[in-house]
Structure 1
Amino acid sequence: MTTRDLVLVALFAAIIIVLGLLPPITLGFIPVPITAQSLGVMLAGCILGAKRGAAAVLLVVLLVAIGLPVLSGGRGGLAVFAGPTAGYLVGWVAGAYVTGLIAERLVREGQAEFQQLLGFLVAASVGGIGIVYLFGIAWLSYMSGKAFVETTLASLIFIPGDLVKAFVAMLAGRAVLAGYPLLPVRT
């Protein structure tokens, strides 16, 4: 990684942490709060690409592991990885990677704007929602002792908000691609 890559990774880790300053919305029927930090995961993948996006999210997860209160609601420490949200945290890393991988494959300079927007939306939806949910719901099902289907149905409450986040990530990815040509090629 070049110095520029390291700076971008640190910048997006900081963006994810700042999104954690927004207070979480807790729901009574599921122990996972609604947070804005998953938007940062989608942004990292769409804008930085697979490797750097995953590295930015991994940096945040490492900061959580060493005890810094960087998650929404001021949470941090190893205890988070034994709780019901641990699967989502691991899913963030995989989700950023998959988001970036899909964005790298589907979005190119010189494409029509609609194709770029659609590519970023598909990337953010599949990686930032689908992959993160896959890890998160599987772990939550295991931790709660409830059936995977039951946990999945309870998690559907997150879909509308996450689709809005995917839409924001799509717009941001397209804006950066069009407006900031000095950003190195996503790798």
Structure 2
Amino acid sequence: MARPTTSSVATARALAQIAVFAGLIAALGLPGAIPVMGMAVPVTAQTLGVMLAGTVLGPWRGAAAVLAFEALVALGLPLLAGGRGGLGVFFGPSAGYLAGMVAGAAVIGLIVHGVRRTGPVRPTWLRTALGCLIGGIPVIYTFGIPVQAWVTGLGLGETALLATAFLPGDLLKVILAVLVTMTLRRTYPQVFAR
């Protein structure tokens, strides 16, 4: 029996990490959602999973984890707030936020890890905070707000104003993502190895 090659082990590890973070994003939607007055999009903890996917896995694997999660949603698994799933959610008020989650994970990963492909990745407090702050809030909102406005028929300004209700929770998620990432870096650094 042939021994696995280094590249096949690395590929298996990458796929396992992607699957774990897709599961984490799904699990963070299960506790339920908090409805926001006037918003067609509820508050969930899933963007915390998106932030962690970007900070831990980097840009490409982080985005792949979000895509894997969204593929499960598209297949009909009830993994979004309120037990929603299926292709219809990609045409509803949350559709832009779903697209923004993929872009957000990639931007977070790029800011935290850069474009290095070899050697250990060492996220810093500052890069992790900036990555989560930029990729986890304005990037996701840039996709989500216009689509929500278009689907709901509200004005762009009115939808953007309503979206400010998400900011306190999203800022808390940034803090949690930074703390978890830096704790992981200190206690389990091999998770960041490439």
TM-score (norm 2): 0.88
CA contact (8 A) 1:44 1:54 kept: yes
Greater Cα radius of gyration, structure 1 or 2: 2
Unaligned runs of at least 5 residues, structure 1: none
The separation in 2 between residues aligned to 1:19 and 1:38, in whole angstroms, is 8
The separation in 2 between residues aligned to 1:84 and 1:101, in whole angstroms, is 28
CA contact (8 A) 1:95 1:127 kept: yes
Residue of structure 2 equivalent to 1:19? 28
Residue 55 (structure 1) shift = 0.4
The separation in 1 between residues aligned to 2:82 and 2:171, in whole angstroms, is 22
The separation in 2 between residues aligned to 1:145 and 1:181, in whole angstroms, is 47
Residue 83 (structure 1) shift = 0.8
Tell me which of 44, 56, 72 is aligned to 1:63: 72
Tell me which of 154, 167, 174 is aligned to 2:162: 154
CA contact (8 A) 1:49 1:103 kept: yes
In terms of fraction of residues, the more strand-rich structure is 1
Whether 1:135 and 2:143 are equivalent positions in the alignment is yes
Residue 184 (structure 1) shift = 4.3
RMSD: 1.6
CA contact (8 A) 1:37 1:72 kept: no
Residue type matched to 2:181 in 1?
G
CA contact (8 A) 1:35 1:72 kept: yes
CA contact (8 A) 2:36 2:165 kept: no
Residue type matched to 1:51 in 2?
W
Residues 120 and 184 (structure 1), Cα distance of their counterparts in 2 relative to 1, 3 Å cut: closer
Unaligned runs of at least 5 residues, structure 2: 1-9, 116-120
Whether 1:182 and 2:190 are equivalent positions in the alignment is yes
Stretches of 4+ moved more than 3 A in 1? none
Q: Please say which of residues 87-96 and 136-145 is displaced more in the overlay.
A: 136-145
Residue 145 (structure 1) shift = 2.3
